[in-house]
Amino acid sequence: MINKESPIPIYYQIQEHIRKNIKQQKWKKGEAIPSERILTEQFEVSRMTIRQAVQGLVDEGILTRKRGSGTYVSNEKVEQPLKVITSFTKLMEQRGKKAASNITDFYIRKPTETEAHQLNIDADTDVYHIERIRLGDEIPIAIETSIVPVKLAEGLTKEDIQHSLYEFIEVKKGYPLGDAKQSIEAIAANKQTASQLDLPVDSPILQIERVAYLKNGVPLEYVRSQYAGSRFKFYL
């Protein structure tokens, strides 16, 4: 099945097999793929090679990892898992722009059902509701509503979120950030979004729903954002 003499890397040959299995529907959309141990035996290669092959397909969005339960054939191509988690402030700084935030709301409340589910918390756990218009060189780029369990960001102040939420978490709290899962869809700006982003009504908007995790796998933030399509580009 695998040609170890071939100049084609082994992990790549395994990926081709997996792609074929999916194409021929031997492995069906939404279903779990065999465990690493079984694949190791089946392909007669090391676990490292299997991991490399599977990780590559996860990065491409063909497979999806679900915490604690295994790896699945992805349902939707649009749901691209992003590996790197980047703070808005850092992103702007990397591009030589000055990041700023207008805080439109900041208070503590109980989570909605969706938020509790996404953050894996009980309905009576307090969360911070943080709503900000994010600016780069004073131009509005995005509206972001972040929901963060209070227990993970106890003591968070307006000054902190004026600057960087992620810096507060990493530096002041000392919690390393992990990865995130997010979905992106295109919508047209309604009146309120258009006015907050200083755009004409019906302008293209990238709407993002995202859960960011700490390195230890605990969900940190459930965020819904609207990015001005004309001012922002996502790449993977």
Please report whether residue 222 would count as binding ligand 16G according to CB under 6 A: no
In the window 109-148, what residues touch ligand 16G (CB under 6 A)? 144, 146
Min dist. Cβ of residue 229 to ligand 16G (A) = 13
DSSP 118-181: HHT--TTS-EEEEEEEEEETTEEEEEEEEEEEGGGSTT--HHHHHH-HHHIIIIIS---EEEEE
Identify the bridge partners of residue 148 per DSSP, sorted by sequence position.
128
Q: How far apart are CA 28 and CA 73, in angstroms?
A: 7
Q: How many residues bind ligand 16G (CB under 6 A)?
A: 16
Min dist. Cβ of residue 53 to ligand 16G (A) = 28
- Contacting range for ligand 16G; rule: CB under 6 A; set: 1-9, 171-179, 187-195, 218-226: 218-226
Helix (H, G, I), strand (E, B) or coil at 214: strand
Min dist. Cβ of residue 88 to ligand 16G (A) = 3
Tokens of 223: 């965020």
In the window 29-88, what residues touch ligand 16G (CB under 6 A)? 86-88
Shorter beta-carbon distance to ligand 16G: residue 115 or 144: 144
- Cβ-defined contacts of 52-59 (< 8 Å, 24+): 52/11, 53/11, 53/12, 53/14, 53/15, 53/18, 54/18, 56/11, 56/15, 57/15, 57/18, 57/19, 59/83
Min dist. Cβ of residue 134 to ligand 16G (A) = 6
Shorter beta-carbon distance to ligand 16G: residue 47 or 95: 95
Quick note: the x/- pattern for ligand 16G over 161-190, rule CB under 6 A, is: ---xxxx-----------------------
Going by C-beta distance under 8 Å and a sequence separation of 6 or more, which residues neighbour residue 88?
99, 134, 142, 144, 164
Shorter beta-carbon distance to ligand 16G: residue 33 or 223: 223
Binding ligand 16G (rule: CB under 6 A), the pick from 49, 210, 211, 213 is: 210
The binding site for ligand 16G (CB under 6 A) comprises: 86-89, 144, 146, 164-167, 208, 210, 212, 221, 223, 225
